[in-house]
Amino acid sequence: MLQTKIIKVSGESASPTPRQEEAIRCAGEILRQGGLVAFPTETVYGLGGDALNKDSSRKIYEAKGRPSDNPLIVHIYRMEDLPVVAQVNDAAVKIAEAFWPGPLTMILPKTERVPAETTGGLGTVAVRMPSHPVAQKLIACAGGFVAAPSANASGKPSPTLAKYVAEDMMGKIEMILDGGEVGIGLESTIIDLTVSPPQILRPGYITEAMLQQVLEEVDTDVTILDENSGQAPRAPGMKYRHYAPKGELTIVTGDAEKVVEYINLHAKQNSMSGEKVGVIATEETLHCYQAQVVKSVGSRMDESSIAHHLYRVLRELDDEQVTCIYSEGFTAEGFGQAIMNRLLKAAGHKVITLE
């Protein structure tokens, strides 16, 4: 067992203080020595290791319990480092100019500097430049290349707070940098630039419409919302059950009044048969439900509030040992596509549609 140190650092909007900078330098040194450090980014907490050191990547898989065919994202902090890890093309330059630093990951052919362990044996590499000041500083202090998947145990919701990183990683990694609650709350958009037209493999805050303003044509992997497409997802990670709470989650969508009626009826029946029932509602509908645990995930008027709270609510339902969960559904357009993609995976695609 390792002694995991937890160190408080600044959030997204402030620069680190001199003392925090010292802590980040120390974290960078741990990464240079082949150790692991969890850190805040603008999307979710990442579990970092030196991306160019195959032993560090192995340790990341081990700490997460992650299948080793599921590649890691390499994080950089400046554009001039991109050619070190990837073969850059025109589309990559355009995308980087428009969206970096920020919540966008691009897939490109890898260079020989990147070990096969980091890319799950693939000839391509996923690269992102995060905007969070702590992440940027840490990557610089670590030598420029930090492999970092989300800092959760494999299969669990990604952590948006350091306490959830600690829950999954205590004793398995050297350090956790605690920057408070992260802003976006869902993982980065992934776009594959090795195919023509480029294809979105995982939806996120940067939407298809935003990407289409920069690239003429953009496709989206059909498996993102449709489980029955008969195809395998192109991002290896998307084939695994993911983001899942311990309780059995069902999404109920359709006519708003019928959704409330259905959830209340089933919540009552399930609790009579001994289940502890939780409901994922919205600000607008919170007062409509009778169940043991009812939580608002945000407002329907503001989908970024829903993204921001989703993983936290799933973790809180685990904390309260809820065994059966009903969630309202959301419109799968724009940023909503990312919300529904994660919610569908968390529910193992169990959806009730009421006309």
Residues of this chain that interact with Mg ion (CB under 5 A) are 150
Q: How far is the CB of 261 from ligand AMP (least distance, A)?
A: 37
Instruction: Rank residues 117 and 187 by Cβ distance to ligand AMP and give the closer one.
Output: 187
- Looking at 27, 82, 141, 238, which residue binds ligand AMP (CB under 6 A)? 238
Q: Which does 51 bind (CB under 5 to 8 A by kind): ligand AMP, Mg ion, none?
A: none
Residue with the CB atom nearest Mg ion in the bound state: 150
Lookup: tokens for 130: 């995060």
Of all helices (H) and strands (E), which one includes residue 20?
helix 18-32
Q: 236, 254, 336, 348: which one contacts ligand AMP (CB under 6 A)?
A: 236
User: Which of ligand AMP, Mg ion, none does 190 bind, CB closer than 5 to 8 A by kind?
Assistant: ligand AMP
Per-residue three-class SS string for 176-242: EEECCCCCCCCCCEEEECCCCCCEEEECCCCCHHHHHCCCCCCEECHHHCCCCCCCCCCCHHHHCCC
Q: Are 21 and 190 spatial neighbours (Cβ–Cβ below 8 Å)?
A: no
Binding mask 98-117 for ligand AMP (x = CB under 6 A): ---------x----------
Q: Which of 73, 138, 259, 263 binds ligand AMP (CB under 6 A)?
A: 73
Peptide bond into 245 cis (omega under 30): no
Residues, the chain: 355
Q: Find all residues with CB under 8 Å of 73, minimum gap 6, and list them.
A: 105, 126, 127, 128, 147, 148, 149, 188
Nearer to Mg ion, 150 or 223 (CB): 150
Nearer to ligand AMP, 200 or 322 (CB): 200
Judged by CB under 6 A, which of 10, 53, 136, 150 binds ligand AMP? 150
Nearest distance, CB of residue 46 and ligand AMP, angstroms = 7
Contact 204, 186 (CB under 8 A): yes
User: Does residue 74 contact residue 130 with C-beta atoms inside 8 Å?
Assistant: no
β-bridge partners, 354: 254
Number of residues that bind ligand AMP (CB under 6 A): 19
| Per-residue contact string for residues 200-219; x = within reach of ligand AMP by CB under 6 A | -xx-----------------
Measured CA distances, 147 to 114, 301, 332, 340 (Å): 10, 35, 30, 27
Binding mask 164-203 for ligand AMP (x = CB under 6 A): -----------------------x--x----------xx-
Q: Where are the alpha helices (DSSP H) in 33-161?
A: 54-64, 82-85, 90-99, 133-141
Smallest separation (angstroms) from Mg ion to the CB of 303:
21
- Region from 169-177, 230-238, 272-280, 288-296 binding ligand AMP, contact rule CB under 6 A: 230-238
| Minimum distance from residue 187 beta carbon to ligand AMP (Å) | 4
Q: Which of 144, 147, 15 is nearest to 77 (CA)?
A: 144
Structural tokens at position 53: 């050191």
Among 237, 245, 247, 329, binds ligand AMP (CB under 6 A): 237
Which residue in 26, 84, 122, 153 binds ligand AMP (CB under 6 A)?
A: 122
Pair 183, 12: CB distance under 8 Å = yes
Pick from 40, 48, 49, 71 the residue near ligand AMP by CB under 6 A: 71
Burial label, 26 (beta-carbon count in 10 A; 0-12, 13-18, 19+): middle
Phi/psi region, residue 348 (left: phi>0; alpha: psi -120 to 50; beta: rest), is left
**Residue 296 binds what, of Mg ion, ligand AMP, none (CB under 5 to 8 Å, by partner type)?**
none
List contacts with ligand AMP (CB under 6 A): 70-71, 73, 107, 119, 122, 124-126, 149-150, 187, 190, 201-202, 235-238
